[in-house]
């Protein structure tokens, strides 16, 4: 499966786990981003995409 | 491999192929998005992410 792990980049340079096994990433009209895992778990985050490597299964967000 | 195919959504509802086998998706400071395929092919696009399904290997952009 090709789901990814979503992290948020913190100001100290570390990364905090947001959600594992992410399938759907969908920016909303209000500026939030909706994440949905392959298990149907959903998270809304106030952040922008910082970088993404699909081959490495990593999506990193940065706080908006 | 878990790369995706990138499309741009057109105003008539259709989708046009942007780049195949996309690994890296990286928003730039100037608002453009940099796409890099697993073969090193690179494209800069003036668009925002509309929706993404990693399991379906699809990333759809919408013109900025």
CA B61 to CA B50: how far, in whole Å?
5
Q: Name the pLDDT band for A9 (thresholds 50, 70, 90).
A: very high
Asked if residue A47 lies in contact with residue A61, where contact means CB atoms within 8 angstroms, the answer is: yes
Mean pLDDT of chain A: 95
- Count: domains in chain B: 1
CA B33 to CA B48: how far, in whole Å?
8
Mean pLDDT of chain B: 95
Per-residue pLDDT tens for A37-61?
A: 999 999 999 999 999 999 999 999 9
Q: State percent of chain A over pLDDT 70.
A: 98
Q: Which residue has the tokens 């947001």?
A: A18
**In this complex, do A55 and B26 lie within 8 Å of one another by their Cβ atoms?**
no
The beta-carbon neighbor of B57 closest among A2, A38, A57 is A2
Q: Which two tokens stand for residue A14?
A: 């570390």
**In this complex, do A54 and B2 lie within 8 Å of one another by their Cβ atoms?**
yes
Taking contacts as CB-CB distances below 8 angstroms, the residues of chain A near B22 are: 54
pLDDT at B64 over 80: no
Per-residue pLDDT tens for B18-37?
A: 999 999 999 999 999 999 99
Domain of residue A29 covers: 4-63
Question: Interface of chain B against chain A, CB under 8 Å?
Answer: 1-4, 22-27, 38, 48-55, 57
């Amino acid at each position: 499966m090709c789901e990814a792990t979503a992290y948020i980049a913190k100001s100290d340079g570390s990364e905090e786990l947001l959600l594992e096994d992410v399938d759907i990433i969908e920016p909303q009209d209000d500026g939030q981003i909706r994440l949905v895992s392959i298990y149907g778990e959903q998270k809304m985050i106030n952040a922008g995409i910082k970088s993404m490597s699909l081959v490495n299964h990593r999506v990193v967000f940065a706080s908006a």
